[in-house]
């Protein structure tokens, strides 16, 4: 399962796995022990987790929810210092400031962070693999070495092709001029015959 398959639905608690599109909406499955399937019509407000962001005060203006979840997993693992039900508003927001220091104090609300904590709890229980950050790309030095190897491979392939078929190429070169000459001659004869 990936974040692009997990969604939240406005007016419904919890998270849902998007199963498939239907004629008049989509079919989702609750991300809990019940795995209840639910058809959603076109008027349902569905947000894929991969597309959700938090407002920030930096130049970017937004920060992906997915990155916040990765940071929470890396910093705290399975034991968060706060809980979405029992912790005070001050504790919840202090926790969020540790995870995302540049968040917008005016546009991110305590209810948003409590929802995030609840989602994190659900994902830990039902889909813990999605909280693992994907392996990062190779360092720039390794990418440069890989780029240098690619042309070498292409050159060696071209050399092999020319070594294997020198006779065929020579035969093709000899055949082409003869055909062109023959065409020129036939053209000249036709033009001479029309003049007489």
The mean predicted confidence, pLDDT, of the chain is 76
CB-CB contact of 48 with 7 (8 Å): yes
pLDDT at 72 over 80: yes
Per residue in 150-181, pLDDT tens? 444 444 444 444 444 444 444 444 445 444 44
- What does the alpha-carbon distance between residue 94 and residue 75 come to, in Å, rounded to a whole number? 15
pLDDT at 108 over 50: yes
The dihedrals phi and psi of 118, each to the nearest 5 degrees, come to -65, -45
pLDDT at 1 over 90: no
Mapping DSSP to helix (H, G, I), strand (E, B) and coil, where does residue 60 land? coil
CA-nearest of 80, 88, 49, 78 to 66 is 49
Comparing 87 with 118, the larger pLDDT belongs to: 118
- Burial of 97-124, coded b for 16+ CB within 10 Å and e otherwise, reads eebbeebeeeebeeebbbebbbbbebbb
Give pLDDT, residue 80: 86
């Amino acid at each position: 399962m990936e974040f692009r398959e997990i969604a939240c639905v406005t007016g419904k608690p919890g998270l849902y796995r998007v199963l498939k599109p239907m004629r008049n909406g989509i079919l989702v499955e609750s991300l809990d022990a019940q795995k209840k399937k639910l058809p959603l019509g076109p008027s349902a407000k569905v947000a894929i987790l991969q597309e959700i962001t938090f407002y920030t005060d930096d130049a970017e203006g937004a920060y992906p929810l997915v990155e916040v979840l990765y940071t929470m997993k890396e910093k705290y693992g399975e034991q968060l210092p706060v809980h979405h039900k029992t912790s005070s508003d001050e504790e919840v927001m202090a926790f969020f400031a540790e995870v995302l220091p540049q968040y917008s104090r005016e546009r991110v609300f305590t209810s948003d962070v409590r929802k995030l904590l609840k989602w994190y709890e659900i994902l830990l229980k039902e889909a813990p693999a999605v909280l693992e950050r994907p392996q990062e790309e190779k360092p720039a030095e390794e990418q440069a070495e890989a780029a240098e190897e690619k042309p070498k491979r292409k050159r060696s392939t071209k050399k092999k092709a020319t070594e294997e078929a020198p006779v065929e190429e020579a035969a093709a070169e000899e055949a082409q001029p003869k055909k062109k000459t023959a065409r020129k001659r036939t053209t000249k004869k036709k033009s001479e015959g029309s003049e007489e």
